């Protein structure tokens, strides 16, 4: 294990890790880092390494990127367990989780467009912000039941949001264990009433990832520091859905020579481009500080 990944005391039972990319583009070095840490963590403990394709967003995911992901991971020398779970094939699992949350009275329909939300945030002047921007200002949270029913019946699209404060009142305080940060007090209010389902996508990243990690028996979630805050919500969903809590390892994010975070959006070169330029697997490992 590299210095970047301090290990936690080994848990009882076999370790299961997963690399869970969204096939919205080709993998870059940041993905390679995450995938390698996951595979090595499992291998060092005689555990299992899974690949999961997070393709719930039908508008952005493309089959050729799934093929590209497999090609890149194989080039890195990684071997994952088959079958690969594709989230788009498991909507019924997420529906079941939504139904459970709904039966607990923890979901509410939100009819706001992005523009409605932006206007309300601008109007209120001091809207609380979370790690991903302003929190949902709660426009639809207190609609009366008859208005809700009327709007739903009218056919306008709506999302389902989690009533986070009500949910927390039900679970009480929660913690999770993070390899770097230690015991972390879950603070789901810091993300506000997140969307758990939309009309065109009847689940969300938060819901699908939480359900899948449990269904696949993942013991150690190893992912980038950018998802640290998301864990506050994942921990809450685990408590509400009666799911186990894995250990979390949020690793550093890779940066380029200017200190900019490597990201697809910021034009980070794809592994496939580096390969075409003559990079070998050993060059990638060296760049990542993961020489065997
Ligand atoms: N699918 C997510 C992504 O590509 C990662 C999910 C996770 O590791 O929890 O950013």
The string of pLDDT tens digits covering residues 100-158 is 999 999 999 999 999 999 999 999 887 888 988 899 999 999 999 999 999 999 999 99
Q: Which of 75, 77, 53 is nearest to 63 (CA)?
A: 53
Q: Is 55's C-beta closer than 6 angstroms to any atom of ligand 1?
A: no
Res. 5: pLDDT tops 80: no
Pocket test for ligand 1, best of 17, 22, 66 (most atoms within 8 A of CB): 22
Pocket test for ligand 1, best of 16, 17, 20 (most atoms within 8 A of CB): 20
Interval 94-109: pLDDT, tens: 999 999 999 999 999 9
Q: What pLDDT was estimated at residue 261? A: 84
Q: Is 223's C-beta closer than 6 angstroms to any atom of ligand 1?
A: yes
User: Cβ contacts of residue 21 below 8 Å, gap of 6+?
Assistant: 27, 31, 35, 53, 54, 69
Residue 250 CA to ligand 1 centre (angstroms): 12
Q: What pLDDT was estimated at residue 144? A: 94
**Cα Rg of the chain (Å, integer):** 20
Atom of ligand 1 nearest to the CA of 226: 10
Please tell me the residue having the least CA distance from ligand 1 atom 4. 21
Atom of ligand 1 nearest to the CA of 224: 8
Report the alpha-carbon distance of residue 48 to residue 217 in Å, rounded.
10
**Distances, alpha carbon 171 to alpha carbons 64, 84, 166, 188, 212, in Å:** 42, 33, 9, 12, 21
Q: Is 250's C-beta closer than 6 angstroms to any atom of ligand 1?
A: no
For the entire predicted model, the pTM comes to 0.92
Atom of ligand 1 nearest to the CA of 223: 8
Please tell me the residue having the least CA distance from ligand 1 atom 10. 21
Res. 6: pLDDT tops 60: no
What are the residue numbers of the active site? 264
């Amino acid at each position: 294990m590299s210095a970047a990944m301090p290990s936690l005391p080994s848990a009882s039972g076999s370790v299961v890790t997963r690399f869970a990319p969204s096939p919205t583009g080709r993998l870059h070095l940041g993905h390679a880092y995450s995938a390698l840490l996951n595979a090595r963590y499992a291998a060092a403990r005689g555990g299992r390494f899974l690949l999961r394709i997070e393709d719930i967003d039908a508008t952005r995911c493309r089959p050729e990127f799934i093929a590209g992901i497999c090609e890149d991971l194989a080039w890195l020398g990684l071997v994952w367990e088959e079958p690969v779970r594709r989230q788009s094939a498991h909507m019924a699992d997420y529906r079941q989780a939504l139904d459970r949350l709904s039966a607990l009275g923890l979901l509410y329909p939100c009819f706001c467009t992005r523009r409605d939300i932006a206007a309300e945030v601008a109007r209120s002047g001091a809207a609380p912000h979370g790690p991903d921007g302003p929190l949902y200002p709660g426009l639809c949270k207190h609609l009366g039941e008859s208005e809700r029913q009327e709007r739903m019946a009218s056919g306008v699209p709506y999302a389902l949001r989690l009533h986070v404060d009500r949910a927390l009142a039900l679970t009480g305080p929660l913690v999770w264990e993070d390899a770097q940060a230690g015991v972390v007090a879950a603070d789901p209010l810091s993300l506000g009433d997140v969307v758990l389902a939309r009309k065109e996508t009847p689940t969300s990243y938060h819901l699908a990832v939480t359900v899948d990690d449990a269904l696949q028996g993942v013991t150690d979630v190893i992912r980038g520091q950018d998802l640290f805050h998301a864990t506050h919500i994942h921990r809450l969903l685990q408590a509400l859905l009666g799911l186990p809590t894995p250990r979390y390892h949020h690793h550093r994010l890779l940066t380029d020579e200017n200190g900019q975070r490597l990201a697809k959006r910021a034009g980070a070169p794809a592994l496939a481009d580096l390969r075409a330029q003559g990079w070998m697997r050993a060059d990638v490992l060296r760049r990542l500080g993961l020489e065997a």
